[in-house]
Structure 1
């Protein structure tokens, strides 16, 4: 059961990242909210390096694959993300802000390790579920900020939900962690709400169409 749920989570999140990379380059944007992306990149590289340098496991190799994929998504953020911001934000300001977000993300992950240690991977589990809940909320905020589905997809939404639900069952329900089970269930609530929003948006209500047109016009300005 553990191997099956770990594999399911690995496959689902890999689908998320592949879809995010595809959308990033085809729609010239970034498909994962920056704060969640920063925490994910930091988590994946820290625990990939730690896992592969100690006792390599399936999860360690999955973390490495995720880290490599997320690095490409980071590129899409720095390449296209400036277009999402107001005109007064210069490119140097944008790059400085992005670097600060990623540096802070690594610091947060290291603080988790300093607080909980690496025994039984408690730091990895707690930080992973908390940043997962953050991502669930930020995807909804991204939908609102972009006034529709630009840079988003049902594939990402559904795969993100499944990729979180699998470890929730493994560590929360089977593993007996009330904290992980509770945070995982909250992720499910937000993830399904996000799925519902994307399904609703496919009906293309007039207010979304007009807002999307305004966004396209705004993005036409040079970087």
Structure 2
């Protein structure tokens, strides 16, 4: 439900609703555990569904996020920093899962959820508004 609320609010407000690092970590985790280390068939369908929803959230970030950073970084730096963060997230989750013998991604998922909680709060304070966010998103994210 969190992803659906983020997408809905993002289109309403024309703002991205998930912090960049969280987007990159989520897409990486979902790609790894759908295509590289797939879970059972049922979980794989769920994880793939999350992946598709995160692609929409990523698209919102790339479209709406640029205007939020236009005064602080160039277009090239904006997109380059996203790609660097995505690649780094992917490698960290892959190495972490391999090193901890966690082919289910449990440790990485726990760390990501903890990280996301702080990042959502940081995004709220950085913006000074609920643009792209809502109480529904916050509640669903902690449940």
Using the size of structure 1 for normalisation, the TM-score is 0.60
CA distance in 1, matches of 2:32, 2:98: 13
CA distance in 1, matches of 2:61, 2:88: 16
Which residue is equivalent to 1:61?
Answer: 45
Determine which structure has greater relative contact order: mean sequence separation of CA pairs < 8 Å that are 6+ residues apart, divided by chain length.
2
Which residue is equivalent to 2:23?
Answer: 37
Superposed counterparts of 1:172-187, under 5 Å: none
Instruction: Check if 1:115 corresponds to 2:99.
Output: yes
Q: Secondary structure at the match of 1:107?
A: helix
Cα deviation, 1:134-163, whole Å, max 9, x if unaligned, reads: 10011111111011211111111111111x
Instruction: Check if 1:135 corresponds to 2:135.
Output: no
More helix per residue: 1
Give the Å deviation of 1:80.
1.0
Q: Secondary structure at the match of 2:29?
A: helix
Q: How many residues align?
A: 142
CA distance in 1, matches of 2:129, 2:61: 19
CA distance in 1, matches of 2:114, 2:58: 20
Alpha-carbon RMSD: 1.5
Which residue is equivalent to 1:156?
Answer: 137
Using the size of structure 2 for normalisation, the TM-score is 0.92
- Which is greater in Rg? 1
Cα deviation, 1:92-142, whole Å, max 9, x if unaligned, reads: 1111111111111101111112211245x3xx1111011110100111111
Give the Å deviation of 1:16.
0.8
Moved more, 108-117 or 133-142: 108-117
Superposed counterparts of 1:21-36, under 5 Å: 21-36=7-22
Give structure 1 regions of 4+ aligned residues with deviation exceeding 4 angstroms: none
Structure 1, unaligned runs of 5 or more = 1-14, 163-223
Superposed counterparts of 1:23-102, under 5 Å: 23-49=9-35, 50-51=37-38, 55-56=40-41, 58-85=42-69, 87-102=71-86
Q: Secondary structure at the match of 1:89?
A: coil
Whether the aligned pair in 1 keeps the contact of 2:97 and 2:108 (CA below 8 Å) is no
Q: Secondary structure at the match of 1:109?
A: helix
